[in-house]
Amino acid sequence: MNGKLIIFSAPSGAGKTTIVRHILGQHRDKFEFSISASTRDPRGTEENGKDYYFISKEDFLHKIAKHEFIEFEEVYAGTFYGTLRSELERIWALGKHVIFDIDVIGGLRLKSKYPDDALAIFVNPPSLAVLKERLSGRGTDSEEKLGERFAKAELELSYADKFDVILNNFDLDTACQEAEKLVLDFLARKD
């Protein structure tokens, strides 16, 4: 039997990564993080096989042709992200549930493929202004890239109501506790 899928999606900077790390830290025995594949270059201290599977665009397109992805998207022009089928199989073989920190469209695609076995949570930032402040404060992107991220964030916010739950991240500690309860309640449900 396969485990469940716990999907956290949000615009970049909304806090989904911190929330996912909190849940993993509290429940390492139950969950394993799904490592996405990406054609972008590593940022900062990111490591291949830990933060992402960094692969060339050519390899990514080859894997698409061989149906090795459960979902994928060209998130920015020329930059692809996706979830490898082998990644879910790896985690389920460990007897764990898969937890995702994934973009909004990817999250909805996963939910559509596993409607009964996935909980899709949209992490809602306090405001677009706060989101912009967080992204600018990271200092990891050029002005052009920040502009792309802001435009994408505005679009992604319009998809919130398509998720199972909207989790407001107005206070990070509260959001982490609420997320943990949502996830554990979902796992406790009988099919």
- 137: annotated binding-site residue? no
- 15: annotated binding-site residue? yes
Give Cα 124 to chain centroid, integer Å.
13
Nearest to 21 by CA among 191, 187, 186, 180: 180
168 contacts 14 by C-beta, under 8 angstroms: no
DSSP track, 57-101:
HHHHHHHHHTT-EEEEEEEETTEEEEEEHHHHHHHHHTT-EEEEE
State residue 165 phi and psi, 5-degree precision. -140, 140
- 11: annotated binding-site residue? yes
State residue 134 phi and psi, 5-degree precision. -65, -45
- 65: annotated binding-site residue? no
175 contacts 19 by C-beta, under 8 angstroms: yes
- 16: annotated binding-site residue? yes
Cα separation of 48 and 38, whole Å?
10
- 38: annotated binding-site residue? no
Q: Binding site residues, as ranges? A: 10-17
Pick out the residues of the known binding site for ATP: 10-17
